[in-house]
Homo-oligomer: A and B are copies of this chain.
Amino acid sequence: MSRKISMAVIRRLPKYHRYLRDLLEKDVNRISSKELSKIIGFTASQIRQDLNNFGGFGQQGYGYNVEELYKEISTILGLEEEYNTIIIGAGNLGQAIANYAGFRSSGFRIKALFDINPRLIGLKIRELEIFDIEDIKEYVTANNIKIAVICIPKDKVQSIANELADAGISGIWNFAPVDLELPEDVIVENVHLTESLFTLSYLLNEKKLGHELPEE
Interface residues of A (CB under 8 A from B): 1-7, 10-11, 13-15, 17-18, 41, 76-79, 81, 83, 91-93, 95-96, 98-103, 105-108, 146-147, 153, 170-171, 173, 177, 179, 185, 187, 189-216
Contacts and interface: CB of A to CB of B under 8 A. Distances in A.
B10 A199 contact: yes
A84 to B, nearest CB: 12
Contacts of A216: 7
B201 A78 contact: yes
A112 B106 CA distance: 33
Main DSSP-derived SS at the A contact region: mixed
A114 B199 CA distance: 24
Contacts of A5: 214
A204 B80 CA distance: 12
A91 B98 CA distance: 12
A99 B92 contact: yes
A77 B202 contact: yes
Given A11-B195, A14-B192, A187 B203 contact: yes
Contacts of A195: 11, 14-15, 18
Contacts of A170: 204, 207
19 contacts: A4-B211, A7-B216, A13-B202, A15-B192, A15-B195, A18-B177, A18-B194, A78-B204, A78-B206, A79-B198, A81-B201, A81-B204, A81-B205, A81-B208, A92-B95, A101-B153, A189-B197, A191-B193, A191-B196
